[in-house]
């Protein structure tokens, strides 16, 4: 019961300030979509009250439902795979320790963002980089399944 109360209180702490913002602060669904997406969805047919209700729903959904859906819905997982970066780390690679640079075969350079060490003796340096729910990037070394927080340098 306490967990449910804390979750509800956290959601309200996020939603209420957003709902109280002036109209110009939150771009709404119209500002978040391209003009073509907005038109393709038929949203230009909404009157101002309907658009306001949709925007309020979008705020609630983003704060409350989206994080849970991201963990469970297969279609979302599939889109996430499409949005990830897959490459390999150029040799020599022996793992990471605070502030390690990762030079990828695709020409990108990433740097370790958080503390941590991992020693790697394997040969497969395939990686997948994804964005987590907080907007930070995580690089997974696929063979052992080990991950490290990273930021893009180049």
Domain boundaries, the chain: 2-72, 83-152
Left if phi > 0, otherwise alpha if psi is -120 to 50, otherwise beta: which for 114?
Answer: beta
- Three-state DSSP at 32 gives helix
**pLDDT of amino acid 58:** 85
Sign for the CA dihedral angle at 9, 15, 19, 21 comes to positive
Select from 35, 26, 36 the least CA-distant residue to 58.
26
**pLDDT of amino acid 76:** 67
Give the predicted TM-score (pTM) of the model.
0.52
104 phi/psi in degrees, rounded to 5: -95, 155
**Lowest-confidence range among 6-20, 74-88, 137-151?**
6-20
**pLDDT of amino acid 122:** 95
Concatenated DSSP letters of 53-89: HHHHHHHHIIIIIHHHHHHH-HHHHHHHHHHSEEEEB
Q: How far apart are CA 153 and CA 82, in angstroms?
A: 22
**How many CB atoms within 10 Å of residue 125?**
19
User: Is the model more confident about 84 or about 89?
Assistant: 89
């Amino acid at each position: 019961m306490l967990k449910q109360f804390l979750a509800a209180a956290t959601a309200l702490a996020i939603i209420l300030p957003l709902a109280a913002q002036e109209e110009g602060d939150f771009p709404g669904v119209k500002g978040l979509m391209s003009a073509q997406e907005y038109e393709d969805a038929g949203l230009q047919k909404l009157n101002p009250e309907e658009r306001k209700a949709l925007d309020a729903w979008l705020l609630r959904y983003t704060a409350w439902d989206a994080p849970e859906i991201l963990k469970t819905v297969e279609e979302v997982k599939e889109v996430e795979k499409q949005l990830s970066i897959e490459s390999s780390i150029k040799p020599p690679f022996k793992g990471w320790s605070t502030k390690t640079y990762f030079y990828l075969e695709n020409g990108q350079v990433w740097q370790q963002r958080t503390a941590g060490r991992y020693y790697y003796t394997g040969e497969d340096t395939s990686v997948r980089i994804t964005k987590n729910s907080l907007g930070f990037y995580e690089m997974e070394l696929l063979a052992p399944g080990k991950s490290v927080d990273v930021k893009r340098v180049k």
